[in-house]
Structures are given as C-alpha cells and as structure tokens.
C-alpha cells in the first residue's frame, strides 16, 4: 500500500508541476498551445512512471533497442531545437517568446523539432513495455502534440504573417520529408 501511496503522491506532484509550467510559460500569456501540450507532457510523465522499473530490463531485446534509438533521437531533436531557438530566435522572457522566425538547422526541415522530440520521447518510453495502456498513452501524446502544433501554427501566423505561411509550405510539421 505504501508503494501505491508514494506513486499517487508522485503523480500528484508531477501533474501539479506540469500544470504550473503550462500556465506560467504559455496559457497565462495567451499562448493556448500550452493546453494540449499539458496532455502531451502528462502522458509522457505517466509513461515514465509506468516504465521506470523496466528501463534497463532485457537490454538487447528488440523493443529496448528501438526504445533507446528513439530516446537518443529525441535528445538530439530536443537539444538542437532548443539551441537554435535560444541562439537565433531572440527570445524575450522565455523560449516561447521568440521574435525572429528560425529556419536554420533542423528548422530547415521541420517546423516543430521540440514537439517531434516529445513525440520520440513518448514513443521511446512506450516501447519499454508496449502494452495496451501504454499504447493508449502514446496515442494521447501523439494527438496532443498534433493539436499543440496546429494551435501554435495559428499563433505563429498571427505573429509572423506571410513569412510563417511560406515557411509552412517549405517544411514538414514533424518528420523531415514526410509529415
């Protein structure tokens, strides 16, 4: 019973932290893409909690190898996207307040490398134990990230206008050369 209590406490504290982040970095400033992004963060958080005990089990199984490949790719896209926004986006108080449309590096191929990173992260964690519950959480993550990107694109059109519309025609949403 103590383990269940501790896990529920962890879920409550983690969810509160994700809600706080979503409010103070997005929603509070009228950037409503933070609402569906909350569900992406939450699904990843729950996936991590569900799979924490399996992280290094059977390290050479196919599902573990796929999982680690996805997690490494997630780290690459997350670091590259964050670095480029920080360096070239001329952000205000936080990275979401970029004043320059970044089209260099990974942004040359996809519009949302940070969301793609979260998609890879959630899928990579899901692959640790791809049960029905985990697949559902993976679909929640995918759906939430798609809605997040669509809402953010409307915000970027309002901010950057035709330059962003042109950028949308030149690049894919998540997966280079595909989607």
**Residues 119/145, Cβ–Cβ less than 8 Å:** yes
Comparing 12 with 92, the larger pLDDT belongs to 12
Residue 169 and residue 146: Cα distance in Å, rounded?
17
Residue 57 and residue 88: Cα distance in Å, rounded?
40
pLDDT confidence band for 97 (50 / 70 / 90): confident
* Token output for 60: 């050479």
pLDDT digits (tens, 9 = 90+) for 120-169: 999 999 999 999 999 999 999 999 999 999 999 999 999 999 999 999 99
Residue 5 has pLDDT above 70, yes or no: no
pLDDT digits (tens, 9 = 90+) for 55-67: 888 989 999 999 9
Residue 106 and residue 17: Cα distance in Å, rounded?
29
Alpha carbon distances (Å) from 78 to 36, 165, 172, 175: 19, 24, 17, 14
pLDDT confidence band for 107 (50 / 70 / 90): very high
Q: Which residues pair with 172 in a beta bridge?
A: 110
Residue 92 and residue 131: Cα distance in Å, rounded?
42
Instruction: Read off the pTM.
Output: 0.91
């Amino acid at each position: 019973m103590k383990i269940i209590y501790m896990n529920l406490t962890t879920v409550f504290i983690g969810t509160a932290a994700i809600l706080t982040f979503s409010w103070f970095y997005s929603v509070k400033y009228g950037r409503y893409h933070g609402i569906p992004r909350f569900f992406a963060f939450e699904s990843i958080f729950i996936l991590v909690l569900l799979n924490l005990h399996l992280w290094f089990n059977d390290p050479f199984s196919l599902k573990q190898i796929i999982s680690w490949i996805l997690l490494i790719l997630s780290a690459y896209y997350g670091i590259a996207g964050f670095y480029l926004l920080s360096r070239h986006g001329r952000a205000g108080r936080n990275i979401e307040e970029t004043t320059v449309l970044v089209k260099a590096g990974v942004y040359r191929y996809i519009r949302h490398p940070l969301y793609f990173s979260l998609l890879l992260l959630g899928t990579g964690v899901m692959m640790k134990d791809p049960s029905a519950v985990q697949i559902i959480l993976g679909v929640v993550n995918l759906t939430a990230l798609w809605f997040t990107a669509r809402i953010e694109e409307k915000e970027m059109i309002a901010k950057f206008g035709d330059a962003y519309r042109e950028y949308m025609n030149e690049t894919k949403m998540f997966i280079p050369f595909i989607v």
